[in-house]
Structure 1
Amino acid sequence: MRLSFFGAYDPGYPRNVVIKKGLRLNGVEVLDCGLWPNRKFWMRYPLLFYRYIRSCSKRSFIFVPEFCQKDVPLAKFLSLLTSRKIIFDPLAPRYETKITDWKRKPPDSWQARWNFTIDSWAFELSDLILADTRAHKEYYCEKYGLSPDKVEVLPVGYDDELYRPVSATNKEDRFTVLFYGSFLPLHGVDAVVEAAKIVSKEDASIDFVLIGSGQTLPRVRALAAELNLSNIRFESWLPQSELPQRIAAADICLGIFGRTEKAGRVVPHKIYQSMGMKKAIITAQTPAVEEFFSHRENIFLVPEPYPENLAQAVLKLKRDKNL
């Protein structure tokens, strides 16, 4: 079997790394026929067309990775020219991300309708669609009218060569709770800050470390300042290669605590990565996470209200090493 990754995508994005490695381990020949996602679609189409015709047209399948909805129409055109099938891995629709989760525009705006249309075209033109959870599959089918037979679930997983149990080289003396991510609304980092306030009143020896940047970071920093927290530290983005050591140095790793619809449909990379390193993980109790994991068996799940229950979970895990 031979497959080409096609579109404007980041080859280092964890989802792509995991899928490529998995395919190759199963004997699939994978060729990169992509571009870095820094061009408008109308600028990259000629380059993608040329690259595919020159070196990728003999592959059995065209694989369009995450966030490449706008590249699916070109992939469809090429698939008709070369009699190939398209596998599309959206990871999340544009409408769900930009409108529902990020709330960039109102749902009744023309921008919302346009993003929904782009998603619909991409789904319609693909032969097989991947979803990261059953909850996401159900959303795709209900929202876009897809047949369940057209959608298969493939969890995001993790790179087990990078995220594996290792000894921390710079373990801090204090008990550390770690969050890392892009500070999206679905991450609900404000709940982490509020939990840190509660924890500080009961156990001053626990520190919270928040690594990353993104949409909600200014608001989260302002909240931490307003609460006058001394047990929380913000750090900027780290290269992927440095994250394992930071995870190894943490006592507890955090998942997500957002209250958006999308938060209930995803299981982010950070959960699988931290689990691969055998770390205690606390995350919100959602339909998606309960598809794969069980409370107190391989993860610690907290219901609403997240700040209070997250704080109690941190304190409980610190006190009970058996958990």
Structure 2
Amino acid sequence: MTGAADRGDPLVIFFGTYDTTTHPRVLVLAQGLRALGATVVECNAPLGVGTAERVTALRRPWRAIPLSVRLGRRWWTLARAARALRPGRGGPDVDAVVVGYLGLFDIHLARLLFRAVPLVLDHMAPAADTAADRRLGGGGRRRLLRAVDRAATARADVVVADTSEHRDALPGPVRSRTVVCPVGAADAWFAAGAAAPPPDADGPLRVVFFGLYTPLQGAPAIGAAAALLAGRPVRFTMIGHGQDEAATRRAAAGADVRWRSWAGAAELPALVAGHDVCLGIFGTGAKAARVVPNKVFQGAAAGCAVVTSDTAPQRRALGTAAVFVPPGDPAALAAALDRLATDRVELARVRAAGHHLAQRDFTPARAAAPLWPWITGAAT
């Protein structure tokens, strides 16, 4: 990539149907590039359809028809908005176009609209991986999604992965132009951590989980751990809904759990910061072994102690600043939480260590830093 070195601050367009309220990774990269000195312009028309709805369309092909119509309308909006941004047509010199997460189709439109501009694809989770995690059966569907992944990464000049495990799973030609940017946490999570009230040393251990109850997250193991802790000074808040929610509720029968369907993006950081412990993921599938989920970055930034599964990428990212348990092991999770409930000195240590690590390594600027040389033309 070239262009920014001789002109001062680079201009980066964030493009696509992404939604930062449901996938904050895009927001973190945008905030990070701004903090590093880029001028960031958004050309965004959120599709308004989450991953679950997209997976449903694969299971029931007739559901893909309204999804395609909606996508076409969003693309029309994007194409009109992009006119003023296209170099050579009265628009400014653009150093890069970043296609936000879930932009596997958006990148083809971006290539048509910005023919001479380097394209960056945020490929945090391949579609084929997501389908496998959501237990989407059928080899034909998996092959189709692998083809979608290949076509999208082939269009990109630079691919962004979230862990080295995801990068290493890509084909060799793609891997050579892939940069690893951790998910990180948006600015609002650090602000929530700074504004959080002091912990209540005499009350129960306040434990929070938030997510879409996908198999990756292993929420039924959390429910079973909560049941094992019934009668202990541990109180759970479970935020979200999704695939494994019913199984989680059954597993948690009799436990001290507060259930919430969801919390908006503006409310969630402060809500999480009001807890002692933020839970990560506990799934046992292949995808769970390759990711560091946004909730561990966000929980640490909000000042919570992080408890999550003991996988290579999570241990590499968090080191001694988290409590690790074997994936899918409710008894081990319950024991870890019980220890934190009774040893408030250790709880304070883990909270402080995680927050310090987040302030050092999980800020938007640190998350986006590996991409910066590709934006400025300094990468070789």
Same fold by TM-score greater than 0.5: yes
Are the counterparts in 1 of residues 226 and 255 from structure 2 also a CA contact under 8 Å?
A: no
Find the partner of 1:78 among 113, 127, 144: 113
Quote the Cα distance in structure 1 between the aligned partners of 2:143 and 2:328.
33
| Residues matched between the structures, number | 308
Cα deviation, 1:250-271, whole Å, max 9, x if unaligned, reads 1221100011111111111111
Mean alpha-carbon deviation: is it higher for 298-307 or for 115-124? 298-307
Give 1:210's aligned residue: 238
Quote the Cα distance in structure 1 between the aligned partners of 2:74 and 2:32.
28
**2:335 partner letter:** Q
Are the counterparts in 1 of residues 107 and 156 from structure 2 also a CA contact under 8 Å?
A: yes
**Distance apart, 1:146 and its partner CA:** 3.6
| Cα distance change on mapping 1:137 and 1:206 into 2, 3 Å | same
| Cα distance change on mapping 1:170 and 1:246 into 2, 3 Å | farther
Write the mapping of 1:230-241 to structure 2, written as runs, cut at 5 A.
230-241=255-266
Quote the Cα distance in structure 2 between the aligned partners of 1:53 and 1:97.
33
**Distance apart, 1:26 and its partner CA:** 1.5
Cα deviation, 1:47-72, whole Å, max 9, x if unaligned, reads 32232123344322111010010111
Are the counterparts in 2 of residues 62 and 84 from structure 1 also a CA contact under 8 Å?
A: yes
Cα deviation, 1:165-211, whole Å, max 9, x if unaligned, reads 333399794322111111111000000011112222xx532122111
Mean alpha-carbon deviation: is it higher for 174-183 or for 36-45? 36-45
Give 1:160's aligned residue: 187
Cα deviation, 1:113-156, whole Å, max 9, x if unaligned, reads 221111110011100001111111112x2xx4444321111001
Give 2:7's aligned residue: none
Determine whether 1:89 maps to 2:122. Answer: yes
Quote the Cα distance in structure 2 between the aligned partners of 1:146 and 1:67.
21
TM-score by length of 1: 0.88
Give 2:103's aligned residue: 68
Quote the Cα distance in structure 1 between the aligned partners of 2:328 and 2:112.
49
Quote the Cα distance in structure 2 between the aligned partners of 1:209 and 1:46.
41
Are the counterparts in 1 of residues 309 and 326 from structure 2 also a CA contact under 8 Å?
A: yes
Write the mapping of 1:276-295 to structure 2, written as runs, cut at 5 A.
276-294=301-319
Give 2:84's aligned residue: 54
Local SS of the residue matching 1:3: strand
Structure 2: gaps of 5 or more residues = 1-9, 49-66, 347-380
* More relative contact order, 1 or 2 (CA 8 Å, 6+ apart): 2
Give 1:101's aligned residue: 133
Local SS of the residue matching 2:345: coil
**2:234 partner letter:** I
**1:165 partner letter:** A
Determine whether 1:273 maps to 2:298. Answer: yes
Give 1:14's aligned residue: 24
Determine whether 1:308 maps to 2:331. Answer: yes
**Distance apart, 1:277 and its partner CA:** 2.2
Quote the Cα distance in structure 2 between the aligned partners of 1:219 and 1:269.
23
Find the partner of 1:199 among 229, 236, 251: 229
Local SS of the residue matching 2:119: strand
| Cα distance change on mapping 1:3 and 1:291 into 2, 3 Å | same
Write the mapping of 1:137-156 to structure 2, written as runs, cut at 5 A.
137-139=167-169, 141=170, 144-156=171-183
**Distance apart, 1:310 and its partner CA:** 0.5
TM-score by length of 2: 0.76
**2:212 partner letter:** S
Moved over 6 A (4+): 169-172
| Cα distance change on mapping 1:305 and 1:96 into 2, 3 Å | closer
Quote the Cα distance in structure 1 between the aligned partners of 2:96 and 2:128.
26
Are the counterparts in 2 of residues 169 and 245 from structure 1 also a CA contact under 8 Å?
A: no
Give 1:24's aligned residue: 34
